[in-house]
A and B are shown apart, each in its own frame.
Chain A
């Protein structure tokens, strides 16, 4: 009898031993370092992680390298500089899968996507009542706007790209490339969510946050890149008719630390001299008397001629705000010495305050003039030439140049393309403008890039061995290191 009791007692203790080891006994989270395991509890955590996703944008892509990829690669600027393995090939159309810039920026974009995905994955699980449903959706919408913007660049510069929409890889670090249509569909879905949830003015008055205007502007730009001008126009008009933005009377007032977040700004990366190398792009491009190294993205001879052709030079605010003509105080490396090294050359000057690798200038990503011109382009493509002409002339008038003389749809298409070129120098737009114009037949991008000249009238010999730009170079290659790390990736054709 007593033995039975003992037996039962032991069985009881044994069971107790088991129940002490209930499921959460082996769930431990860090106690002394902030990680995804112990963060994301409060409304404040949601906000600070979103701030982290914004802060992640201050890397090399938006302030520096993407300007080489777009304005530098296109007919707008000479990449120039002293990086003959990473940057020169961007100018000369000799980039190979081993190009370190192309490899690192693909990774940079995904790093920003990871930061946005961290918000998108975790904020929905926060149950803090201080986080209202409205604000929760706004936070997710802001993060999804950021993610969409990063994918916009991935899909336009690399084509099909792995679609990573969560920080949980489920052990699969080697995704396949998703078709372009799937990537666009994800961008559109993210932006429509943003469009539905974001306010017209930034939450908490914290300018720099994505707003509904930013979402609509990026929707318009995305649809344009997809060739869907109907939807593009819809969202351009939503921005225009929203009344949130207006053209500044003076082009010169768009730039510099004193003019950040002006009435024309739709989305820009905020800067305020938080520390050296937070915002170093300006120093890379600006003429600085004390810097004795070659600056990037020198305005091309062809670009200057385009300004001259429009009479947009000596007296034009736009011309003067865009360029800073100086004699270079360092050797420069332009194709065929496109500019005479002894004479002044056109340094780009839209972020005029270099600040010693810590510029106070914001980085303009989307502004109203871009959307007006995009509306003009869409209207023209859809046959609304009259509206298109009006919108084009709105921009020309502000720049101080005469109304356009173009009348036919095809003349107007060229005129709008040219106007976008002059208006948006070194704002990261030209390459995608050319891709669109190439797609809708306005120009042939291959012919255009193979007909660039230096200031002496010599043909610039782009391409490997000077053989010319090839169709396959419209998309960047997938980096060799990435192909090694991820056997499921395929290379773009031609590389």
Chain B
């Protein structure tokens, strides 16, 4: 019952793009202040995670098109690759604030490594509508 509150496309997005709660929190943290450039240390302190974990999380978000690093500095700023992506993040933010436990469960239900995505590539049923 609780899983029904997350729409399928958002569920797919979370499963594909969000690997951990720390990553989601970092994304939403930077989204909350889009004019600010964050250091890794500042993010780590705010999220109560180690600096190394924060570094990995921010790098990944940057590669995935959620953040950018202005002028090759070591800072990160919220900047989505496309308006559609921004809208999806907005929906995720709204859902996370309303349905904290289901979203958390969804993320924690994912396997620890990404290699499952290799096998999932062959699953036609997991294909999203945006194909």
Query: Are A and B co-members of a single complex?
Result: no
Residues of B within 8 A of A (CB): none
